[in-house]
Chain A
């Protein structure tokens, strides 16, 4: 895809405006098309444009879930920690063209890999597949067509993890394809790192400095009411509402929406909207790779260090009790 297309399609307007302003460019009009054109026609603009294209082309308003594999049959997965090893596997299976121009595979039911890009030590895999058949009006006739959809997977290394950027519930076939590439006949068990329990979700919100702007909780007793949902007024935090605390603190969450501040490399600050659910996370703001990496690293940290609030309380109680006894 040409740089112009990527800029016009994937990069948020505000980012393009900043480049134009910083480099004092003169686009023909205020449309995104002309902004992108002005950027591409300028030496330094092109450099900035390339950077933005890499940051946004596979990201955007995406859902993402991060998995790490464990083998059902004992099979050493350690070689997968090396990006070179996995690139070798991919070249063996798909040929070296998948890294350069990409493959022109015939789109089908199952997702098929057609392009691999490397960026910041990660591999970005592009898959193409056909969506459901639908009837559309074209040239005064009704024709049947199946849309061509593209979804992305990101491979992390050291340790090896797979980030699946597809809609909720549709990750099965993609993980299946990865299994075919990396483990041949052996099936793998995938652990979802982005599945957070109530305590971990709270910690993530605090670590991101986020405000709670939406929350859906599930009742644990009662015949009729299944879920309770709260949304905050603009720039308000549900955690400050007594009503929310009283009604929901004893109920597990179904999904939570946070708004947190983020400063891009180029100095631009933005409020990012993030929804977490038991399946993983969903960005409601168009984000770049930087932002996704930032959030995933926070989640990995939480999973590694664990959230011990409740257990600490128990330990303290025991200590107090034994003190009183003696």
Chain B
């Protein structure tokens, strides 16, 4: 997958109002994408201003317990899963990688596609508020 293909996909997703997503969403929906390639692109400098990585830390039972921004922020102390109560020490292998769109990128996509907002404005004018 090329970076410009991914860029275009991300624009469509942001336009559709999608937020918080796993790279699996991209590789499942756009079958040409290899998950590992998608992840490495999303984590690269090229996409730094577009997506924010959110790492969901999972307990051994597979519940998403809490989130951290970077792998270095992973606490090494004993935690209690708030979903199932199991005690565990967070393991870097049990992390679910997700991404949010940056506020700037969402703004950019909205501005780039003004048609929708124009139509909404026109609809308002057709139905003026009657006093």
In the complex, whether B63 has a CB less than 8 A from a CB of chain A is yes
A59 to B91, CA, bound (A): 28
Interface contact A168-B63, CB-CB below 8 Å: no
In the complex, whether B3 has a CB less than 8 A from a CB of chain A is no
Interface contact A169-B86, CB-CB below 8 Å: yes
Contacts of B19 in A (CB 8 A): 222-223
Contacts of B64 in A (CB 8 A): 218, 226-227
Residues facing B in A205-252 (CB within 8 A) are 216, 218, 220-223, 226-227, 250, 252
Contacts of B86 in A (CB 8 A): 168-169
Q: What interface size band does chain B fall in?
A: 20 to 34
Interface contact A255-B62, CB-CB below 8 Å: yes
Kindly report which residue of chain A lies nearest to residue B87, judged by CB atoms.
A169
Contacts of A227 in B (CB 8 A): 62-64
Q: How far is the CB of A72 from chain B (nearest CB, A)?
A: 16
Interface contact A250-B61, CB-CB below 8 Å: no
Interface contact A169-B24, CB-CB below 8 Å: no
Residues facing A in B1-55 (CB within 8 A) are 18-22, 24-25, 28
Interface contact B62-A277, CB-CB below 8 Å: yes
Question: Given A169-B86, A169-B88, A250-B28, are A221 and B61 neighbors across the interface (CB < 8 Å)?
Answer: no
Interface contact A218-B25, CB-CB below 8 Å: no
CB-CB contacts of A164-185 with B at 8 A, as 1s and 0s? 0000110000000000000000
In the complex, whether B96 has a CB less than 8 A from a CB of chain A is yes
Residues facing A in B48-101 (CB within 8 A) are 56, 59-64, 86, 88, 91, 94, 96
Contacts of B21 in A (CB 8 A): 220-222
A278 to B64, CA, bound (A): 13
A222 to B20, CA, bound (A): 5
Interface contact A168-B24, CB-CB below 8 Å: no
Kindly report which residue of chain A lies nearest to residue B61, judged by CB atoms.
A168
Of B25, B60, B88, B94, which one neighbours A220 at CB under 8 angstroms? B25
In the complex, whether A15 has a CB less than 8 A from a CB of chain B is no
Contacts of A255 in B (CB 8 A): 61-62
In the complex, whether A279 has a CB less than 8 A from a CB of chain B is yes
Interface contact B62-A221, CB-CB below 8 Å: no
Contacts of A252 in B (CB 8 A): 24
Interface contact A278-B62, CB-CB below 8 Å: yes
Interface contact B60-A221, CB-CB below 8 Å: no
Interface contact A277-B61, CB-CB below 8 Å: yes
A218 to B96, CA, bound (A): 10
A278 to B21, CA, bound (A): 20
A282 to B86, CA, bound (A): 16
Q: How far is the CB of B53 from chain A (nearest CB, A)?
A: 15
Interface contact B28-A220, CB-CB below 8 Å: yes
Give the interface of B toward A (CB within 8 A): 18-22, 24-25, 28, 56, 59-64, 86, 88, 91, 94, 96
Q: What are 19 inter-chain pairs, A to B, with CB distance below 8 A?
A: A168-B60, A168-B61, A168-B86, A169-B60, A169-B91, A218-B64, A218-B96, A220-B24, A220-B25, A220-B28, A222-B20, A227-B63, A254-B62, A254-B63, A255-B62, A277-B62, A278-B62, A279-B60, A279-B62
Give the interface of A toward B (CB within 8 A): 168-169, 216, 218, 220-223, 226-227, 250, 252, 254-255, 277-279
